[in-house]
A and B are shown apart, each in its own frame.
Chain A
Amino acid sequence: MSDEFSLRNRLSSTVVKELTVGLTGLMLVLFVGAHLAGNILIYAGPASYNAYAAKLQAMGPLLWFMRLGLLAAFVTHIGMAINLDIVNRQARANRYAVNTYLGRKTVATRTMLASGIIIFLFVLVHLYDFALSDKTGPASIVPGANNNQSLGLFGLVWNSFRDPVRVLFYVTASCAVGFHLSHAVASVWVTVGVLRDEDTPVADLVARLLGLAVAVGFSSIPIYVFVQIHFFGGGPT
């Protein structure tokens, strides 16, 4: 067998790099779905929300295993996507003077890197906001609720969205994720080699609905808390 057929060469093809972006992307989609399902419990009040958080914590080593897997998928996804983006830019170094865009796909397709970068910046801020903050300290006390005792993670989240700038940032990021997915979840089936012609419209529709659900679902949480605080007297109901 000649050298170009070595496993190393076969695995370093752009087709495999794309596959890596796609598969890690699908792992991230699973996480996003689970994350939304958990956090939507904010509407059920402090008890349910904190019980969900406690259940996660109780998973112990398994939780850490999942976190490491998620981190690996995230880093790989970004690394490979940027790597491909560099190759793609080099392949078309000379641009056209006139561009007529005829493809079926639109803005989300052309802004995958931009939406990805917004998501990345958001993840950093988001981890700092909640994962690394003290969940029982003063920041978790919602004034006037629970006899001014800590409301745990719920209290921390609640107080965070008193700030309109943070609300805006979270809504923007949630929309960026939805936008990213509205292209990604349609396109990934080509990447992994399973999409038939006749299924393309279904894939497009599913991706758009999923993107919309993710954008609306996540955005609703900071907006809900903000409206409760500033228009309905502050405390959780």
Chain B
Amino acid sequence: MSEKTMNLTLKVWRQEGPHVKGRFETYAAENISPDMSFLEMLDVVNTRLEQAGEEPIAFDSDCREGICGTCGAVVNGRAHGPLSATTLCQVHMRHFNDGDTIVIEPFRAEAFPIVKDLVVDRSALDRIISAGGYISVRTGEAPEAHAVPVSKRAAEEAMDAAACIGCGACVAACPNASASLFTAAKIIQLAKLPQGNIERRRRAIAMIQQMDKEGFGSCSKHYQCEAACPKGIKVSFITAMKSEYFKALVSKD
């Protein structure tokens, strides 16, 4: 153990299931190393809860390396916690002060029903992908790289959009619980490249319709999503998504 540890007070949202009322419970997180990640801190608290015969706090995680998009909670009012462009699993306890009170809530949206405590059901995002976030034309074997020209700008935009890990922080941070940033990233990532270009019109319509159907809100340009996104995805992708949709409205294919 490192020489200096911290003591924190956690106020955590506890909810047994989707249809029961939730509440905040207060826990002491004692002797926490500043080198622990936020999720490791929760692991420690959970071990102690289990030892005391209490139900551990349910939360999601997988890679704990900031690449899978599984983790996420709203910590002191910020999706993924206090650091910008960082997933919750990559936040370390040294970014908090000894004696702090930390309020931990699940991502809240009607389209993200709470499964348990901090675990929410984000399958609405999967259904947006299923509606059109793929390529169904046969592209054959990988062609010789130079045979498929892609401009530098298009390649960079596609890569920036592809950085989205689908964590849902944009929805969590948006006052309207809009999934615009997520949907935009997924639409533009494909539209910019030759393989995705073929079905771009159909895709824009299908994915946006699914987004509406899932009960997400619309974009009021608060730029909260951009501020919360662990991968730095920009609102300009939403602008591009709208332009895709309007072109699709008047196109014949």
**A: which residues have CB within 8 A of B?**
4-5, 9-11, 13-19, 84, 87-88, 90-105, 109-110, 112, 183, 186-187, 189-197, 200
Chain B 65-100, CB-CB to A under 8 Å as 1, else 0, gives 000000000101110000000000000000000000
Contact B108 A10 (CB under 8 A): no
Contact B227 A102 (CB under 8 A): yes
Contact B108 A91 (CB under 8 A): no
Segment from B39-47, B52-60, B233-241 that makes contact with A = B233-241
Segment from B2-10, B28-36, B137-145, B175-183 that makes contact with A = B175-183
Contact B110 A93 (CB under 8 A): yes
Within 8 A of A (CB), among B113-136: none
Q: Which of B215, B220, B244 contacts A109 (CB 8 A)?
A: B220
Contact B110 A197 (CB under 8 A): no
Contact B222 A103 (CB under 8 A): yes
Q: Determine if B208 is an interface residue (Cβ-Cβ < 8 Å).
A: yes
Contact B215 A96 (CB under 8 A): no
Q: Determine if B196 is an interface residue (Cβ-Cβ < 8 Å).
A: no
Contact B238 A91 (CB under 8 A): no
**B: which residues have CB within 8 A of A?**
11, 24, 74, 76-78, 103, 105, 108-111, 173-178, 202, 205-206, 208-209, 211-212, 215-224, 226-228, 234-236, 238-246, 248-249
Q: Which of A19, A91, A197 contacts B177 (CB 8 A)?
A: A91
| A-B interface contact total, Cβ < 8 Å | 143
Given contacts A9-B209, A190-B239, is CB(A97)–CB(B105) below 8 Å? yes
Nearest residue (CB) in A for B22 is A94
- Name A's interface SS: helix
Contact B242 A15 (CB under 8 A): yes
Taken together as a complex, chains A and B put the C-alpha atoms of A99 and B224 apart, in Å, by 11
Contact B205 A10 (CB under 8 A): yes
Contacts of A4 in B (CB 8 A): 205-206, 209
Nearest residue (CB) in A for B111 is A91
Contact B220 A88 (CB under 8 A): yes
Contact A98 B103 (CB under 8 A): yes
Interface centre among A92, A94, A110, A195 (most CB of B within 10 A): A92
